[in-house]
Amino acid sequence: MVGKKKLKKWISAFLIFVLLISLSGLITFAAQGPDSTPESTVLRNSGLSARTVSETIVVNANALNGDQEYSLEEDVSVKEGDGIDLYATEGYKGKISAKNIDSGWYGAWVQTSGDGSSAVLFAGSVVSENGDAVFVTAEQGATSETTVNGNLTSESGSGLNAFAVGSATVSALLNGDINASGGMNMNAKDMGRIVVDGTGDVSAQYTALYGFSNNQSEIDFSLEGNVSSEYSAGIVADAVRNSNIRYTITGSVNAAELGAELHAKDDSTVVLSQTGNLSGSEAGLFSSIPSESGKVRAVLDGTVYGENAGILFDSDAPWSVSGLDLLVWKIETGDDGYIAADRSFAGGTVVYTENEAFERSVQYIIKT
């Protein structure tokens, strides 16, 4: 038997241990995560000391928990789940910072609504195997900020997949390369706003940069780096219902199909400013403007190249030519290509028809 004196010493030591753990903030609390991560945990602490966290970290900022802010000193590696899930709603603030994220599903899932605000900061890289590296959605007047000071990698999803709906704002600062099957996606709707600043190359199997802006919404994207797509378009911008999209790129764009595919209608405007070459196997620049109030402006300080056409117009969109304001350094094509052409379809076959009138009206940049 254990003596009473010795037992008291054990009890005292145990109580001191519990007190120290509580004060250091290393206690973890179970939380109800999304359906895909039923056993996720939330770490209520600032500055963990473990080397790696191997369970999904869930942060809930709401009326029940109040504002939430956490700082992780270690990497997060979760093979069967998301790396980090952050939820902020009802005007509350959720914030988390970490180093490197390596996940089997989403690297980071950030969902903000109801005038809530969220912020995530990753000092290193974010890797996802079966989802987006970073998925961000903001709704109903919410704001969300994302900073990544490393690379974004996804085998089957996007590097960044961002949604801003209902007067919400999503901003992202990306200081690294993006290597993702789905490149980068930006969707703004109903007075939503997305602002992204990137430094690094964007490489994708499919569309490298995709932006859709609808109903008085805005996307403002700038990149210092090169853009490439293995099987699809390099850049796609689609603005409708009094919306705007601005792409500012310092670097080259090289795509398997269209270098840049630009759509605008219903009092909407798309602006592409690029310093560097723009090339696609079909065409360098594609303009599609189905309504008279749509406008596309492209300032291209580099060589625009397309195998079939340098500049290509959508024949099914009547204002594709008159609605395009183009200033370019040089246009080159393949041996049988056109400087400018209209694209139509006849019996399932693509037909390119030279547009000589536009060729004569092209404004070129004069360098001295």
Residue 174 CA, chain-centre distance (Å), reads: 9
pTM: 0.87
pLDDT (0 to 100) of residue 303 = 98
Residue in the structure block whose two tokens are 């006849």? 346
Which residues have a Cβ under 8 Å from the Cβ of 196 and sit 6 or more positions away? 160, 162, 171, 172, 174, 184, 186, 220, 221, 222
Under a CB-based contact definition with an 8 Å cutoff, are residues 183 and 229 in contact?
yes
Question: How far is the C-alpha of 180 from the C-alpha of 183, rounded, in Å?
Answer: 5
Residues whose CB is less than 8 angstroms from the CB of residue 222 and which lie 6 or more positions away in sequence, other chains included: 196, 197, 198, 247, 248, 249
Percent of the chain with pLDDT over 70: 86
N- to C-terminal Cα distance for the chain? 97
Could you count the other beta carbons within 10 Å of the beta carbon of residue 266? Answer: 16
Q: Any idea which residue has 């700082």 for tokens?
A: 71
**Tokens linked to 330:** 């040089």
Residue 336 to residue 267: CA distance in whole angstroms: 36
The answer, yes or no, to whether residue 42 has pLDDT greater than 90, is: no
What tokens were used for 182?
């789905």
Tokens representing 165? Answer: 């709906």
The separation between CA 24 and the C-alpha centre of its own chain, rounded to angstroms, equals 36
Rounded to 5 degrees, what are φ and ψ at 5? -65, -45
Q: What mean pLDDT value characterizes the chain?
A: 88
Per-residue pLDDT for 73 more than 90?
no
**pLDDT per residue over 258-282, tens digit each?**
999 999 999 999 999 999 999 999 9
Which tokens belong to 121?
A: 């900061």
User: Residue 14 has what pLDDT?
Assistant: 37
Residue 25 scores a pLDDT above 90: no
Question: pLDDT at position 368, please?
Answer: 67
Domain boundaries, the chain: 47-200, 220-368
Cβ contacts of 321 within 8 Å, gap of 6 or more = 287, 313, 342, 355, 357, 358
- Residue 11 reports pLDDT greater than 80: no
pLDDT for 39 equals 32
**Chain centroid to CA 59: how far?**
21
Residue 51: which pLDDT band, with cuts at 50, 70 and 90? low
How large is the average pLDDT for residues 141-167? 98
Nearest to 139 by CA among 112, 172, 171: 112
CB of 140 closer than 8 Å to CB of 166? yes
